[in-house]
Amino acid sequence: MFKRELFNEDHEAFRDMVRRFIDNEIAPHHAQWEADGVVPRDLWLKAGEAGMLCCTVPEQYGGAGADYLFDVIVFEEMARSGYTGPGFMIHCDLVATYIASFGSEAQKNKWLPLMVQGKAIGSLGMTEPHAGSDLKAIRTRAVRDGDDFVISGQKVFISNGQLCDVIVLATKTDSTAGAKGVTLFLVDTSLPGFRRGKNLHKLGMKAQDTSELFFDEVRVPASAMLGEEGRGFELMMTKLAQERLAQAIRSATVAETVIDWTIEYTGNRKAFGKTIGDFQNTQFKLAELKTEAVVGRQFTDKCIETFMKGELTAVDAAMAKMWLSNMHCKVVDECLQLFGGWGYMWEYPIARAYADARIVKIAGGSIEVMKHIIGRQLFADFHPTKDPAVNGVAGINPA
């Protein structure tokens, strides 16, 4: 197989530490957290102390100022473990990135050190009951009142929703302006009027808290605005490629891991006088899956490399997200089949991987949206336009 060339000795030493952390602090407790539907805040503090949170945050804001590969290692090792409870990816790759990229100095100084330490947990508040991928259709409103804004509305399917201390919240400040009426705010969840709904019961990722959030005239100062008024949609579009790359990273790692589990299981499980791995069907099936996993890994690593150069386009990220998500679901489904009845038992990690996999075709933009982005670009090449959304840079038409 191809040798990965992205990482150096410092990266691999960090990887070893992350693996030990998962073995010691997560593995013994994850089954209980699945029953609870949430991980304890204490875990976030331990992860912060270990240096696993928000690795790229600059030193002046309490972070390590490390390169993106350190975050990649955390995402990969969490995916390899099969433990999906800790919502580190949302916290680090999205919320902290939004604040570091678009926040004022006051916002950065207030939130980033706390997020690095695990003392403040971040959520991304975009999806609403009637607005998923179509973010310009959100109804949560922020109305100016003197030097403040008053926010009212509802969000749903919010990861880290039961624990979050700060939310990057998408609102409408002008309901008549379409995408140009969207504004982002950093909302402190200790403010009056904020309320958490129930912890939602999901098909998979059972230990990760996912919630409805309600905003009943939550008053925030104008200084809580993230970026400029009316530019929220534009800011969200600039981070979609990074979000989709993170999804691809997880999918590539899960596929590799599940195949390894299956090789080990079928190499030991006996049927009809020989191991399941001795049968041609098993070998042919795993040969196909392994080849697809290697192709996915090479594509993902190339996207990581391109992203670190600042050159990853929305279309490339959409291709990675679409292909890796489909491959991820295919691998866990066909590998579970090779486990037979045991694959359906929750005590086997393959069962959890199967339940956790289905969300990857939805989260970060559905497969259908990815196809739309890619297909639109194919025809935009024949009809060039200055509109970045039509050319596939934005990802979703903001009209």
Query: DSSP string spanning 1-49?
Result: -PPP-S--HHHHHHHHHHHHHIIIIITTTHHHHHHHTS--HHHHHHHHH
* 3-class state of residue 318 by DSSP: helix
**Catalytic position from the list 77, 243, 256, 292:** 243
As a whole number of Å, the end-to-end CA separation of the chain is: 46
* Separation CA 318–CA 295 (nearest Å): 16
* Separation CA 26–CA 45 (nearest Å): 13
* Separation CA 178–CA 275 (nearest Å): 60
Burial-class residue 190 by CB neighbours within 10 Å (0-12, 13-18, 19+): exposed
* Local structure of residue 86 (DSSP, 8 states): S
The dihedral sign for the CA sequence 110, 116, 120, 125: positive
* 3-class state of residue 157 by DSSP: strand
Catalytic status, residue 243: yes
The residues annotated as belonging to the active site are: 243
